[in-house]
Chain A
């Protein structure tokens, strides 16, 4: 605008050069660039002298040094001895991990709430409005801390007592674990099938496109390559399961006392850990010991709770329970009440002798507290569990002990009533005596497997093993990000639906479409065009907001970068790397946005 001065249209250009717009423009730019260069030069000079004075790194060579940062959450293998570069890469992958899942869930909830805000039902509409207004107007930082340290950390069941949800899901204050499929040592035999399936799918797609063009028809392309792929790949998978033998190179060593084992594979005379091998571990008889505790859970005092590692009732033939000090327990009339058989329960004094936990029986009248500090012994017979070794070939089991002769001799029936419950008192069933079993017997058996193995999560000691895990940090951050972003997406969706002219809806009804068809075929596609650009900027916001991960203890890019920066003092290289990484993400999102806009424009015609 500066150089758009009105032109003098008289005979000759009499504008002197100091009033010539072009000259002024060029001079202004030169001056600006000079000031900029000088300013930046002074600042850079300041920085380099300051760095040199403080002896801090100013280049990227520190990235090759060992990081020494423990990271709990790692999508790719990582050890503390790995380099800073790898630690930062883990952070970047963790950012992507939360961003991708977060975007999908936020869209789902956001669209749902956005549609709810336009519902004809007053209650639903109001509920959605309250949801949006409350969550939009509370800082995300507050919401993350709220979910993490006020809700998820103190409230859900402890890892020693996880909630088993349908589908093999385990939920506790350590996180959520669920079954997952992993590639085994036989995966290699499936690869040719996968390649063949991909080639066939491509050919099928090509053929279908040509057929449609030849017949000049409109039709779907995707079912043909999909079916072709599924048939060939599925056949290959089934074929990989046909071999029911276990290769002789495979071996497992298991130390039952330590509860640890390794699956190995021998190759060229050397054995190395074999990942994802299913092993059946059986123990003819074993014991577990724990101590009851008085503790606070979900803001309530829970008296005399005892917890064994999570064991399913179906995993053993028989369970027997006893107190570690049977005489003292019998003197007080102590008994066990299970809240989750056979792992969790409460120690109580069965004062009225009815064999059930009644009001007040969990509190010792002498002390006013629960029966904490009581040793409880579980004896299992015929225990059997199938576990899949992890990525490093490791197998973990609960820390079983051999039932020693001394314990057996000491074991007495605890209470007569306890024997009548769901478990038999230890003393009644234990008859063996004399022969001192010192070492714990365990038999291991490698199971045959195909290209993929289903690994289920279990809790051997105090953390999940097997399956796939979301830590509680990840869950809290995800929850907060998804809920916060979904409130914004709901508003965008609502705006988009309202932006579709009323006539469109009326016309759709007039041609006989149902309400559902009107929405999915007429309103929604048109709303998408308005909705997508702001929606993608919300996706970008979600990704950038994941940098608040430190509030939930999640090792995301910014968190790791700040740790690295504090360790090495390499503030400037780290700052450049961070800016670069975030610009990369922004660029990726704007590429997607442009692509989507182009496609929507095509649909628009």
Chain B
């Protein structure tokens, strides 16, 4: 009786060796590809690392941190922007506490807190003027989180809290004429990352305007419809930098006020908000078109009025569907705030330009442009990439991508 010869051991379908064979060395072509790409990547990474850790002179970036952060905002008033930032973290923390640590807002909140914690450590060690302020912002953030965790019902008050934050924050940053701890800080001294974030809030007023434009575009009244179409298409047709330029030149003329009485930040804010609203309108329109007709017909059949149908049935569904697109637009706006240099504002990007041509920078062999722009690129990347992660999570959660 012959024995059946033993079968060869099964090829492993897991483990690092299998992974390597499958993903990197699955054939002669792939092997060559891996080796060539690997060599190029290794060379590039080596050069980058040599530059970042050996050749680069980070001295100028380090010394001008305050300019990067807030530009010329007075040092004795730095508690004001940091308090505003802290309260923002606190409100985000409360939302995260309610929604849970692993929710989309929760993971974004903790990423942001990680960033703030890192800066806090640096501040405690090296920056005496904000030694206690950064940890304060961090603490308010966590306090908000604990409140949200303990009393989930605060979620009902959050819209009001955000509104109070927005208005109160603006007032606090500006200050009052009386002097003292609340002394006036002229708007021309605002700048750096603070200004970038302030301009980024232009997404908030652009939202209702955008929704109104989107609804107007769907309207059956030709006057309103064509006005909205015209506004949306003209604004979207030209680049933001042109609208910023036009706003800075024309707003004082149009409003017939003295050019000096209308700060550049206001002109830029108007341009950014209206520009963003036109894009918002197109995003919202996509959502409106995605709501099945049956929804509004059913609502009408139930006796809801036209406005009730829009606000209770159509808009909630439409906006839900376009949340990822709106986050995508927010990323675009965040990046586009770098264009305000054209109206003479000194945002995060412009500060980099200023720092790179300081006399001390020019003394450094070969200049510090590379260092400075790598630094701001890294910061922009951190925030934009974090938002794009949130956008992707939202897409998955809402199932928009799978449709």
Contact = CB atoms under 8 A, between A and B. Distances in A.
Interface of A: 1-6, 25, 28-29, 32-33, 36, 43, 46-47, 49-51, 120-124, 127, 133-134, 136-143, 145-146, 149-151, 154, 296, 298-301, 544-545, 547-548, 550, 558, 562, 565, 571-572, 575, 578-579, 582-583, 586
A301 B364 CA distance: 12
B253 A582 contact: no
**5 A-B pairs with the lowest CB-CB distances in the bound complex, closest first:** A299-B366, A122-B23, A46-B256, A137-B384, A139-B335
Interface of B is mostly: helix
B208 interface: no
B237 A3 contact: no
B225 to A, nearest CB: 10
A150 B369 contact: yes
A32 B224 contact: yes
A124 B384 contact: no
A6 B309 CA distance: 13
Interface residues on B, range: 35 or more
Contacts of B221: 2-3, 25, 28-29, 32
B77 interface: no
B365 interface: yes
Contacts of A145: 352-353, 369, 373
Contact of A142 (B38, B238, B254, B373): B373
B227 A36 contact: yes
Contacts of A127: 37, 41
Nearest to A54: B253
B182 interface: no
A51 B245 CA distance: 17
Given A137-B381, A138-B335, 9 more contacts: A1-B306, A2-B221, A36-B227, A46-B253, A127-B41, A142-B349, A571-B246, A571-B249, A586-B233
Interface of A is mostly: helix
Nearest to B383: A137
B300 A6 contact: yes
Interface in B250-277: 250, 252-256
Contacts of A137: 331, 335, 380-381, 384-385, 388
Nearest to B369: A150
B338 A133 contact: no
Interface stretch (B9-17, B26-34, B110-118, B168-176): B26-34
A57 to B, nearest CB: 13
B339 interface: yes
A517 B238 CA distance: 41
- Considering residues B38, B218, B223, which has the most beta carbons from chain A within 10 angstroms of its beta carbon? B223
B403 to A, nearest CB: 11
B202 to A, nearest CB: 15
Contact of A2 (B41, B219, B234): B219
Given A2-B220, A142-B373, A565-B249, A544 B33 contact: no
Contact of A49 (B256, B300, B331): B256
A583 B306 contact: no
B239 interface: yes
A47 B251 CA distance: 9
A67 B256 CA distance: 29
